[in-house]
């Protein structure tokens, strides 16, 4: 299947996927790591998993994978720490020092331990520091309570002394009681601390209830949120002072404090002691601060050194992990001295792979080289297209529908042109095309710079499709010139308009219209049409017919590609019983319609094409009368109708019967064929066997063929109608842009006022960019996509292959964890 | 300019473009064939579009009727 057929011209790039081969490598164990590493650098082999039945833990290199996973975890930990500390790794590591993976493992372990220890220490210090800060706040606030209480108490005492009839007011401070009751010798105890603000009310209430009201609580809000030493989060807190009497009350209050997460701090009534504590706390605070700063500095230094080499380590660890992953997919030989690998590789890469294998066995001082041999594949090989930066985006458009079957004709080749072209048919305006071109040129010029960066989702997508957009813009400029629209304004770029008034006075120009005085406008739509009353009828008729013509052309291309497929795979059944009747059916109906359209244009006939087409089916024998476009039309139509009718059973019936016959023949022939001795034919036999032994279900094949036929016959009608979207979208685009131009820009112009003009211009720009350049681009893109996926590709494209995903370090580096 | 002359211009443009591609980026027979296919497809698409619009205006059934007020 792989060899090129035809021979008239060389195989076209991209038209068929690369021919692949199933290769087997027998690698000595001592060279295996290096070999896989070199193959990963090359990136041209897709390994098969030969241990699919084994769980990840049963595989040979499970331990190494675990180790690499551990290293990756450490690196992730470093990355987290670096992110937290705001240390960013340099884009490109300056020094590429060679480092062994065992050394790296040890080093990573050491660094992690160091970092963890630093973190623990830092945390401890931070906690103490936060406690001190809270303590300081308590000292400040509580001494405030006591001072105010003391002053008001002395004031009240003085008052009491003067009046001796003190009514107990709610505000009576406790200090007074204490002093007044000093004779009773009941010492009141008190507790001070901090409680979170949101819990403070409940806290107060519970203490009050628990002690049956035998407490006095004072609270004061702390102005700024403080960092809670336990949780390390910023919280709003209140300073509280609780006065109580008796040991039992104290234990209760302590328990409540614990439950509410209120931190208590010792406090002394004595003013002197307070001051002493204050200075002590402040001193320790500043001391702590310098210690913490020094610790943080040291930690940042460590992180900085890590970040310098982080990327290098990271890629090394990833490589290691992927290498062991691949090694796990290889099967161990019985002698345990070599590993056996199987995988797909493109035929053209054979030389490169062999070179890499040789280098690997040489570099690892292996005594035996790796054995490279090509196997015969039973299953279908993966699909691999060598795309470049220009073609890859187009290929992605095709792949998004389905990856091509191995070596089937790739619609991507034509999509490169027809996709932007159909887009442009819907987006024809050379002003908008220029804007689009400028935008995409920005991406293309800064391509090198942008490709290394992380972009946003939408920018990333636009950047990936920059060449698609460039082609779309170029074609829109072309179709814009054809439609003669520049932001909906026509220009007489290619000579004078073909139309002029009937006479000098130009009186009936608005009633009967102009007449054609010159030869047809040479390129595109005559500018005179713009803004006339007959513009829409004319453009509608033109664009509708254009959609049909373009559609029929593209569908024919699709069917022709199905011929290439059939010829390439040597399937003459498909040529005779699929390609030919399909071609006849489509062209007998819609090819004929296209012909009629062209004939009508060339002759200027008044014939009604709808009528012709409808009565071709309803009463083909009737005379056409005034709808006749050319002599002998009736006979032609009869013949075409007959051909179309014949081609339906032609598509449906013979193929399943012939397939059945073929199958039977082959089956019989096989049982009586003499066994040939040569190795080659035996392998061929084996190869073919795998295909033939599938059971042949006639009913299934027949139903499949029936579905296929019905799909094609109905599809011919519906797909042709589907191409009318070209007309609809192109109409919508030109109408919208003329509305923006006339109703916004010209209206603003009419006011003769600079401010209104500026506002109008801004609105015009935003409407043009937002609606026409972004939304219309998207919708035209989607419709062009649909026309390619459905209308074009269903004529020939199977799209049931699978993609070639080589083992490559370049690909591993791309994906982010 | 008639239909045939402009068609000829399209053909000549296509030929020049394929020659340019052949000379400027000659990258082996298969890639050249791809370039040729792309250029031919593009030329045919552009020509079709132009030809359709040109033919439609050759023998007009509707003539432009100016709207009032112009």
Structure tokens belonging to residue A145: 């309570």
Across A633-647, average pLDDT: 94
DSSP structure class, residue A803 = B
pLDDT at A332 over 80: yes
Structure tokens at A628: 């006749």
* Helix, strand, coil % in chain A, rounded to nearest 5: 65, 10, 30
Q: What is the band of B2 on the pLDDT scale with cuts at 50, 70, 90? A: confident
Angle at A204 between CA A198 and CA A206, to 5 degrees: 105
Mean pLDDT of A756-780: 92
Taking contacts as CB-CB distances below 8 angstroms, the residues of chain B near A546 are 49, 52-53, 56
Nearest chain B residue to A11 by CA: give it: B30
Q: How many CB atoms lie within 10 A of CB A239?
A: 24
Question: Which of residues A699 and B70 earns the better pLDDT score?
Answer: A699
This model of the complex carries an ipTM of 0.96
The percent of residues above 70 in pLDDT, for chain A, comes to 91
CB A357 within 8 A of CB A35: yes
Using a CB–CB cutoff of 8 Å, tell me whether B53 touches chain A. yes
Contact A449, A443 (CB under 8 A): no
Which of A152-166, A327-341, A452-466 comes out lowest in average pLDDT? A152-166
Q: What is the pLDDT of residues A696-741, one digit of tens each?
A: 788 999 999 999 999 999 999 999 999 999 999 999 999 999 999 9
User: Do A478 and B49 lie within an 8 Å CB cutoff?
Assistant: yes
User: CA of B60: which chain A residue's CA is closest?
Assistant: A604
Q: What number of C-beta contacts closer than 8 Å exist between A and B?
A: 136
Question: Which of residues A645 and B70 earns the better pLDDT score?
Answer: A645
Q: Are the Cβ atoms of B55 and A604 closer than 8 angstroms? A: no
Residue A4: pLDDT band with limits 50, 70, 90? very low
**Does residue A75 have a pLDDT over 90?**
no
Instruction: Indicate yes or no: CB of A509 within 8 angstroms of CB of B29.
Output: no
A256, A203 Cβ separation under 8 angstroms? yes
Best of B65, B67, B69, B70 to disrupt the A interface (most A CBs within 10 Å) is: B65
Instruction: Tell me the pTM.
Output: 0.80
> Can you give the pLDDT at residue A95?
56
Q: Any chain A CB within 8 A of the CB of B4?
A: no
Per-residue pLDDT band for A421 (boundaries 50, 70, 90) equals very high
Q: Tell me the shortest Cα–Cα distance from B42 to chain A, in angstroms.
A: 6
What's the confidence (pLDDT) of residue A5?
Answer: 44
pLDDT at site A45: 92
Alpha helix positions (H), A526-571 = 535-568
Q: Which pLDDT value is given to residue A815?
A: 56
- Among A518, A109, A29, A385, smallest CA distance to B58 is for A518
In chain B, whose CA is at the least distance from the CA of A420? B42
Mean pLDDT computed over A238-254? 83
Per-residue confidence (pLDDT) for residue A166, from 0 to 100: 45
Alpha carbon of A339: minimum distance to chain B alpha carbons (Å):
38
* Residues of chain A found within 8 Å of residue B41, distances taken between Cβ atoms: 414, 416-418
Residue of B nearest to A421 (CA): B45
Residue A24's SS3 state is: strand
Residue A573 in this model has a pLDDT that exceeds 50: yes
Query: Which residues of chain B are within 8 Å of residue A11 when distances are taken between CB atoms?
Result: 30, 33
**Residue A770: Cβ-neighbour burial (10 angstroms; 0-12, 13-18, 19+):** exposed
DSSP strand pairing (A338-346 vs A331-332): antiparallel
Quick check: A546 and B58 CB within 8 A?
A: no
Question: Does residue A167 surpass a pLDDT of 60?
Answer: no
Directed axis angle between helix A101-163 and helix A271-329, to 10°? 160
DSSP string of A616-673, one letter each residue: HHH-TTS--GGG--STTHHHHHHHHHHHHHHHHHHHHSHHHHHHHHHHHHHHHHHHHP
Encode pLDDT of A553-568 as tens digits.
Answer: 999 999 999 999 999 9
* Least confident span in A117-131, A176-190, A534-548: A176-190
Residue A756's closest CA among A766, A740, A770, A744?
A: A744
Mean pLDDT over residues A512-538, rounded? 89
Reading the block at residue B33, the tokens are 């064939």
| Closest Cβ–Cβ partner in B42, B53, B62 for A525 | B53
B67 to chain A, minimum CA–CA distance in Å? Answer: 5
HEC states along A46-95? EECCCCCCCCCCCCCCHHHHHHHHHHHHHHHHHHHHHHHHCCCCCCCCCC
The more confident residue out of A643 and A673 is A643
Q: How many CB atoms lie within 10 A of CB A300?
A: 15
pLDDT at residue A126 in the model: 87
Q: Give pLDDT tens digits for A662-676.
A: 888 887 765 555 554
Cβ pair A514:B37 closer than 8 A: no
Q: What is the pLDDT of residue A797?
A: 93
pLDDT tens digits for B35-63? 999 999 999 999 999 999 999 998 888 88
- HEC string of A275-327 equals HHHHHHHHHHHHHHHHHHHHHHHHHHHHHHHHHHHHHHHHHHHHHHHHHHHHH
Cα separation, A57 vs A66, in Å, equals 10
Nearest CA among A179, A217, A215, A177 for reference residue A195: A217
For residues B19 and B35, what is the distance between their CA atoms, to the nearest angstrom? 10
Q: What is the pLDDT of residue A814?
A: 58
Shortest Cα–Cα distance, B20 to chain A (Å): 18
Give the nearest partner residue to B54 out of A414, A520, A534, using CB atoms: A520
On the question of pLDDT at A180 being above 80, the answer is no
Check residues A450 and A171 and name the one with the higher pLDDT.
Answer: A450
Nearest to B59 among A12, A414, A604 (CB): A604
**A272: which DSSP letter?**
H
Give yes or no for residue A460 having a pLDDT over 90: no
Residue-averaged pLDDT of chain A: 85
pLDDT digits (tens, 9 = 90+) for B13-22: 999 999 999 9
Most confident segment among A249-258, A263-272, A531-540, B45-54: B45-54
At A185 the pLDDT is 52
- Chosen from B2, B31, B57, B67 to mutate, greatest number of chain A CBs within 10 A: B57
- At residue A682, the pLDDT reads 45
**B26 CB within 8 Å of a chain A CB:** no
A585 pLDDT higher than 60: yes
CA distance B45 to chain A (A): 7
pLDDT exceeds 60 at position A533: yes
- Per-residue confidence (pLDDT) for residue A681, from 0 to 100: 45
> What pLDDT score was predicted for residue A392?
92
DSSP class per residue in A347-385: GGGHHHHHHHHHHHHHHTT-SSPPEEEEEPPSSPPPB--
| pLDDT higher than 70, residue A690 | no
Substitution target from B26, B38, B53 for chain A, most A beta carbons within 10 A? B53
pLDDT reported for residue A737: 93
Lowest mean pLDDT, pick from A335-344, A474-483, A769-778: A335-344
Q: How far is B24 from chain A (nearest CA, A)?
A: 17
CB A114: neighbour CB atoms within 10 A?
A: 14
| pLDDT tier, A94 (very low <50, low <70, confident <90, very high otherwise) | low
CA of B40, closest CA in chain A: separation in Å? 10
């Amino acid at each position: 299947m792989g060899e090129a057929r035809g021979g008239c011209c060389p195989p076209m790039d991209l038209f068929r996927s690369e021919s692949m081969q199933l290769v087997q490598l027998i690698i000595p164990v001592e060279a295996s790591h290096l070999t896989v590493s070199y193959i990963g650098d090359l990136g041209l082999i897709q390994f098969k998993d030969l241990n699919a039945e084994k769980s990840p833990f049963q595989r040979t290199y499970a331990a190494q994978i675990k180790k690499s996973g551990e290293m990756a975890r450490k690196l992730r930990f470093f990355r987290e720490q670096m992110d937290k500390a705001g240390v960013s790794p340099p884009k490109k590591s300056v020094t590429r020092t060679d480092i062994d993976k065992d050394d790296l493992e040890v080093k990573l372990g050491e660094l992690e331990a160091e970092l963890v220890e630093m973190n623990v220490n830092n945390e401890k210090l931070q906690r103490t520091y936060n406690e001190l800060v809270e303590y300081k706040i308590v000292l400040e606030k509580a001494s405030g309570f006591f001072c105010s209480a003391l002053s008001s108490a002395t004031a009240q005492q003085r008052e009491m002394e003067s009046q001796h009839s003190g009514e107990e007011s709610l505000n009576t401070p406790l200090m007074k009681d204490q002093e007044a009751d000093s004779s009773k010798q009941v010492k009141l105890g008190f507790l001070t601390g901090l409680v979170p603000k949101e819990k403070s009310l409940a806290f107060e209430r519970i203490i009050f209830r628990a002690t049956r009201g035998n407490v006095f609580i004072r609270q004061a809000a702390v102005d700024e949120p403080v960092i809670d030493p336990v949780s390390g989060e910023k919280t709003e807190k209140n300073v509280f002072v609780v006065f109580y009497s008796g040991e039992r009350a104290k234990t209760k209050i302590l328990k409540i404090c614990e439950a509410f997460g209120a931190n208590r701090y010792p406090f002394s009534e004595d003013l002197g002691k307070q001051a002493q504590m204050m200075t002590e706390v402040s001193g320790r605070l500043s001391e702590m601060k310098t210690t913490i700063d020094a610790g943080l500095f040291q930690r940042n230094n460590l992180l900085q050194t890590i970040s310098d080499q982080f990327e290098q380590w990271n890629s090394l660890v990833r490589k290691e992990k992927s290498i062991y992953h691949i090694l796990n997919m290889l099967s161990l030989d019985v002698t345990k001295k070599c590993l056996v690998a199987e995988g797909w590789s493109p035929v053209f890469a054979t030389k490169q792979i062999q070179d890499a294998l040789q280098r690997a066995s040489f570099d690892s001082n292996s005594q035996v080289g790796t054995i490279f041999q090509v196997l015969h594949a039973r299953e279908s090989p993966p699909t691999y297209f060598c795309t470049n930066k220009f073609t890859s985006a187009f290929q992605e458009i095709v792949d998004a529908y389905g990856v091509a079957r191995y070596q089937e004709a790739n619609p991507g080749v034509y999509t490169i042109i027809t996709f932007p072209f159909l887009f442009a048919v819907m987006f024809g305006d050379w002003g908008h095309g220029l804007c689009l071109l400028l935008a995409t040129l920005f991406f293309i010029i800064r391509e090198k710079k942008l490709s290394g960066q992380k972009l946003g989702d939408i920018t990333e997508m636009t950047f990936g499709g920059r060449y698609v957009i460039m082609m779309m813009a170029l074609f829109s400029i072309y179709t814009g010139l054809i439609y003669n629209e520049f932001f909906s304004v026509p220009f007489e770029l290619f000579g004078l308009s073909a139309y002029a008034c009937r006479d000098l006075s130009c009186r009936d120009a608005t009633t009967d219209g102009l007449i054609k005085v010159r030869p047809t406008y040479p390129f595109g739509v005559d500018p005179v049409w713009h803004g006339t009353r007959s513009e829409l009828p004319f453009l509608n008729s033109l664009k509708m017919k254009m959609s049909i013509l373009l559609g029929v052309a593209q569908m024919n291309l699709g069917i022709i590609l199905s011929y290439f497929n059939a010829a390439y795979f040597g399937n003459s059944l498909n040529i005779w019983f699929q390609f030919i009747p399909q071609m006849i059916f489509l062209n007998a109906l819609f090819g004929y319609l296209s012909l009629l359209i062209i004939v009508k244009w060339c002759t200027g006939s008044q014939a009604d094409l709808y009528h012709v087409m409808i009565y071709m089916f309803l009463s083909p024998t009737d005379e056409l009368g005034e709808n006749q476009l050319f002599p002998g039309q009736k006979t032609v139509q009869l013949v075409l109708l007959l051909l179309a009718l014949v081609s339906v059973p032609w598509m449906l019936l013979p193929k399943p019967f012939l397939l059945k016959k073929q199958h039977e023949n082959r089956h019989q022939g096989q049982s009586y064929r003499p066994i040939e001795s040569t190795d080659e034919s035996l392998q061929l036999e084996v190869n073919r066997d795998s295909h033939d032994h599938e059971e042949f279900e006639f009913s299934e094949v027949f139903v499949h063929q029936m579905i296929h036929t019905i799909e094609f016959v109905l599809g011919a009608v519906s797909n042709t109608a589907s191409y009318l979207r070209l007309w609809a979208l192109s109409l919508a685009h030109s109408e919208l842009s003329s509305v923006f131009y006339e109703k916004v820009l010209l209206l603003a112009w009419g006011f003769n006022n600079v401010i209104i003009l500026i506002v109008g211009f801004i609105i015009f720009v935003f409407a043009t960019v937002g609606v026409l350049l972004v939304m219309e681009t998207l919708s035209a893109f989607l419709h062009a996509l649909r026309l390619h996926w459905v209308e074009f590709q269903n004529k020939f494209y199977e799209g049931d292959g699978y993609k070639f995903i080589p083992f490559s370090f370049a690909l591993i580096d791309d994906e982010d964890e | 300019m008639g239909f045939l002359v402009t068609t000829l211009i399209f053909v000549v443009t296509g030929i020049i473009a394929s020659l340019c591609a052949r000379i400027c980026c000659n990258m082996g027979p298969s890639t050249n064939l791809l370039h040729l296919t792309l250029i031919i497809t593009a030329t045919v698409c552009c020509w079709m579009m132009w030809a359709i619009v040109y033919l439609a205006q050759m023998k007009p059934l509707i003539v432009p009727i100016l709207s009032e007020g112009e």
